[in-house]
Amino acid sequence: MTEAHTSERTTAYQVARTVTYVFSPVVLATLQLFAVPVHAVGLVRGLGWGLFAVAFVSVAPLAYILVRVRRRTLSDVHIRTREHRRVPFIVGLVTVGVGLVLLALTGAPRDLLALVAAFVALTIATIAITSWWKISVHAMVAMMTAVILAAVYGPALIVTVAAVALIGWARVELRDHTVGQVLAGALLGLGVAGLFVLAR
């Protein structure tokens, strides 16, 4: 490989790595958890409900993963090794489930309840699939985000699907997933977003 090709490859790798972190599932999930209630009940109340939901859906699972990464029982926050994903996902399912119950008991907006219920469904599906195949959670949550934002704020936001393609490219470029795993993740994310639309 020539020096020019090596440089190009390095640049592509760095871009893909940046995209992977900037558009990580926890970032996109958090975006949804604020955007949906803000649309439903206004800025101030929406941010309050968003913080409540984020504590269970994003912060708690991420905290568990970070503790395990620090203890070196997980390699990284993206959990690249498929066999290591099951327990963190089960922990996430528990925290998201608890969050959903508490949100329902405290009178959260219907759209937020539908969104957190969609995350429960997504996590259950991911646990089942991860037992035998490494589906792309990045692509899954990215597609879910694009479709849900378009459903809530208007069809013009469907253009954010372009970001799903970028994220898919990044996951393949880093060799963390195959094209098939990325496409499967995107399709599952689309299905979960459909559940949100039906439940809201």
Burial letters for 98-137: b for 16+ Cβ neighbours within 10 Å, e otherwise?
A: ebbeebeeeebbebbbbbbbbbbbbbebbbebbeeebbbb
CA dihedral 63, 45, 100, 80 (to 10 degrees): -30
Residue 47: predicted pLDDT? 98
Residue 3: predicted pLDDT? 47
- Output the pTM of the full model: 0.91
Residue 176: predicted pLDDT? 94
Q: How far apart are CA 195 and CA 111, in angstroms?
A: 12
Residue 22: predicted pLDDT? 96
pLDDT tens series, the chain, 200 aa? 444 444 456 899 999 999 999 999 999 999 999 999 999 999 999 999 999 999 999 999 999 999 999 999 998 888 888 889 999 999 999 999 999 999 999 999 999 999 999 999 999 999 999 989 999 999 999 999 999 999 999 999 989 999 999 999 999 999 999 999 999 999 999 999 999 999 99
- pLDDT over 70, % of the chain: 96
Residue 118: predicted pLDDT? 98
